[in-house]
Amino acid sequence: MNILLIGYGKMGKAIEAIALSRGHAVFKADNPQELNQITHPVDVAIEFSQPDAVVANLQFCFEKKIPVVCGTTGWLNRKEEMETYCFQKGGAFFYASNYSLGVNLFFKLNEYLAQLMNTQKGYDVSLNETHHTQKKDAPSGTAITLAQGIIKNYPPKKEWALNETTNPDALVIRSYRIDPAPGTHEVRYTSTIDDLEIKHTAHSREGFARGALLVAEWLAGKKGVFSMDDYLKF
């Protein structure tokens, strides 16, 4: 399979290594000029670039009828627009804030715990996320997905806020940037009696990279808009 990597940072390099080990051909584009110079047939693109580049990169793929797997965070205010554009162009689009299987199981555990906590009084919930200092967006896309899962299932929280807030209806997400952390997310329910916490810690980028590649292999040849629920069949 011919894979186009859009964005060649640390995640792109990790995906490339796994793709080559699985017998795929890999082509790289790290800016619009390189993207427009791609002449090889492409079966699927994997997009891990920068927030300000995502929309143009997705539009390129949709117009060229290249299925695209996107993992860039920090641009989701335009995600619905890109889904509409994908349908208009008859393309294929797969977005996830995190491609790790463990993280996606953690998402489901987080939602279930939020449902259970609905019947409990005296608890407040907060969320911590820690990443390496090169991560530009805060909070992380994974943290936002976790926050959305809590808000959907835990009525006391109506929105999320970054780091601090005086609004009792807001779920606080505290973001930390410490090297060389690849990613840690903690959801904590606290009371005067006890604390209840669930936590996911990534040991390397391999889980994210392998997951993105497996999704790309699955997406090739499809049309439509998909998510990890479609891939994992939760």
Q: Residue 217, class by beta-carbon neighbours within 10 Å (0-12 exposed, 13-18 middle, 19+ buried)?
A: middle
Q: Residue 167, class by beta-carbon neighbours within 10 Å (0-12 exposed, 13-18 middle, 19+ buried)?
A: exposed
* Phi-psi map region of 190: left, alpha, beta (phi>0 left; psi -120 to 50 alpha): beta
Task: State yes or no: is 135 an active-site residue.
Answer: yes
Considering 13, 135, 222, 223, which one is annotated as catalytic? Answer: 135
Which residue type occupies 26? Answer: V
What contacts 132, CB < 8 A, 6 or more positions away?
177, 178, 179, 180, 181, 182
Task: State yes or no: is 200 an active-site residue.
Answer: no
Considering 24, 131, 157, 200, which one is annotated as catalytic? Answer: 131
What contacts 162, CB < 8 A, 6 or more positions away?
138, 139, 173, 175
Strands 184-190 and 195-201: antiparallel
- Catalytic residue annotation: 131, 135
